[in-house]
Structure 1
């Protein structure tokens, strides 16, 4: 093994940990997973048929041409402004590989998805985290943040909008100010993994007119393709080409590509998912607040709840009730759990279990 001298960081994620479930004697099929925030309706009907039609004896298309053309038609963008990846995580690491090297600076708007830090660390970069003010409902002082970016002149800025895990959604003016500050010295990576579940989301595509702006989107979350892994990025043809040159051949498998094309024809399923999120989130907020819990209700398809010792509550819910939530200690929020919105029957089961878990403590 070649020692690069770089500190490697392994990000913590939501989702079920099979080894943990085996230790606890739990059947994964019987566990309700609220730790992942995806379309609560699951994948659209017909996805499995699309996958079954794939010739698995043939190599997948390394350029994802059909999927990029379908995305381009949906987004009114040329395919050369689109790069498909094995989930947003692959694209985050490819971006860091393309634009960061040891000695460069990077900025992360935190708390944040752990892969931003992991991608920076893999390139020998120690990012500066601009941490949101918990006392101010997890908001940033955007003017102060822009000033810091101008002074630091980082090679890359990571901003998740809506934020993971707080759900804070910045308006267009604030993001444009951040983009202007970031693009003066490097690349702004605007991660919009959860934007499809935002009511009244503003159109971020005009930001692509600003040099060195990248938009990340997640079909994994939009269409519950979690096991397939499918994300894409939008940027200038020059940025896309630079990142594509560093992507391994066949990183996006044929089943994922076929599922992606099929899902883009089912926008009705995505809208139904949004409606399910609206209903489920409203119920969860009312129920948790009535239990005396402090909740941070953002624009995304999840919410934060302050429960005291999040690690203990998560384990109690898992062991005693077969329910998995996201412990937010890895975000620097050890008192909070993140709850992805699921169907109403599942949400009712979570509320009953959480009430008991808190009472037993």
Structure 2
């Protein structure tokens, strides 16, 4: 028992590691943010759509935002009208990460009949799935991709067997996957969805990077999620439209799944600035195609330049490149001292790899030059 008048604080769970430049590290290195380039986060290299700044400036800061994000929800449903979406199929969140936490609160906290308070996570992948499940007291099972010289792959048959045996409340697939860039096809996802449906669980397909993929049509499961009661798909407007500071995402699922999540979402979790920016961004119908073209050009620059240094770059369908560099932590630190921040993938279980978020070509060329310089210094590889 705890002493009277004292609160019991259990040991905190370790938090997932994310990209992004941290102020504490800048201070330690004696750097200023405006002098640095961030390749550790993966967002559109174009920056926000042109009208976003004006849309934000027009927001009345004295007014509460709509807690239901109705106008933005309607715009998202209209944007996906070809997939048969209605407003009831969409929930908007403070980044797709908020929706991940709503999912674990709902499905791990109160598993569907016949399911366990377990999540099956395909790894290596985004750390927030694991973190959100553990916060809710759930168990995490993992299925790790096999690694080959030409990329990473999961065994679909083994995945479906694990779902049948373990009956997880949630099964998480990031598609394209972070950090490997692997894109799982629509037919493969549909087969996994059927396996999950047989147990009463929910398949979570995190498509945070899919809008910046040239092969997005091969895997898009928006329509499947809208009509399939065992599938939900997540989208990140933060990444699609470079709204990083605002945090904005949404999910598509059956009306029953959306209602279950909405019941747990706090009012006003999506602020008025983010809602206004999202409306303006989604109205710019030409933006995403321009962003995909920019991603392709920057990817070509990075892969060509690093390959010239005999650095393996794994095939990717996302707006980042996974590069095998030996001692990732050492290279990351050497680059950081030059004001160039990449993601050390040790936290993903890949201590020999860095992830490079694709910025404009000129920035990518500057990073490649710096890596070449560091390489010439004979780092520990």
Maintained 8 Å contact 2:13/2:135? yes
In 2, Cα distance between the equivalents of 1:120 and 1:3? 22
Write out per-residue CA displacement over residues 219-273 of structure 1, whole angstroms, 9 at most, x where no aligned residue. Answer: 0000000000000000111111111111111000000000000001112122111
Within-5 A mapping of 1:1-361: 8-76=13-81, 77-101=85-109, 104-135=117-148, 137-185=151-199, 186-202=201-217, 203-208=220-225, 209-319=227-337, 321-360=338-377, 361=379
Instruction: Tell me the CA shift for residue 143 of structure 1.
Output: 1.2
In 2, Cα distance between the equivalents of 1:96 and 1:227? 24
In 2, Cα distance between the equivalents of 1:326 and 1:43? 22
Maintained 8 Å contact 1:6/1:124? no
Q: TM-score, normalised by structure 1?
A: 0.97
Q: Any idea what SS the aligned residue of 1:104 has?
A: strand
Instruction: Tell me the CA shift for residue 206 of structure 1.
Output: 2.8
Instruction: Tell me the CA shift for residue 210 of structure 1.
Output: 2.1
Q: TM-score, normalised by structure 2?
A: 0.92
- C-alpha change, 1:2 and 1:94, in structure 2 (3 Å) is farther
Write out per-residue CA displacement over residues 35-75 of structure 1, whole angstroms, 9 at most, x where no aligned residue. Answer: 11110010011111000100010100000001001101101
Q: Which runs of 5+ in 2 are unaligned?
A: 1-5, 111-115
Maintained 8 Å contact 2:204/2:232? yes
Maintained 8 Å contact 1:54/1:255? yes
In 1, Cα distance between the equivalents of 2:372 and 2:192? 41
Q: Which runs of 5+ in 1 are unaligned?
A: none
In 1, Cα distance between the equivalents of 2:178 and 2:7? 34
Maintained 8 Å contact 1:101/1:124? yes
Maintained 8 Å contact 1:7/1:122? no
Q: Any idea what SS the aligned residue of 2:179 has?
A: coil
In 1, Cα distance between the equivalents of 2:210 and 2:106? 25
Instruction: Report the number of matched residues.
Output: 360
Q: Any idea what SS the aligned residue of 2:76 has?
A: helix
In 2, Cα distance between the equivalents of 1:2 and 1:212? 40
Instruction: Tell me the CA shift for residue 2 of structure 1.
Output: 7.1
In 2, Cα distance between the equivalents of 1:178 and 1:71? 26
Instruction: Tell me the CA shift for residue 101 of structure 1.
Output: 2.8
CA RMSD of aligned residues (A): 1.5
Instruction: Tell me the CA shift for residue 211 of structure 1.
Output: 1.7
Comparing 216-225 and 241-250, the one that deviates more: 241-250
Which 4+ runs in 1 deviate beyond 3 A?
A: 1-7
Maintained 8 Å contact 1:157/1:187? yes
Q: Any idea what SS the aligned residue of 2:91 has?
A: strand
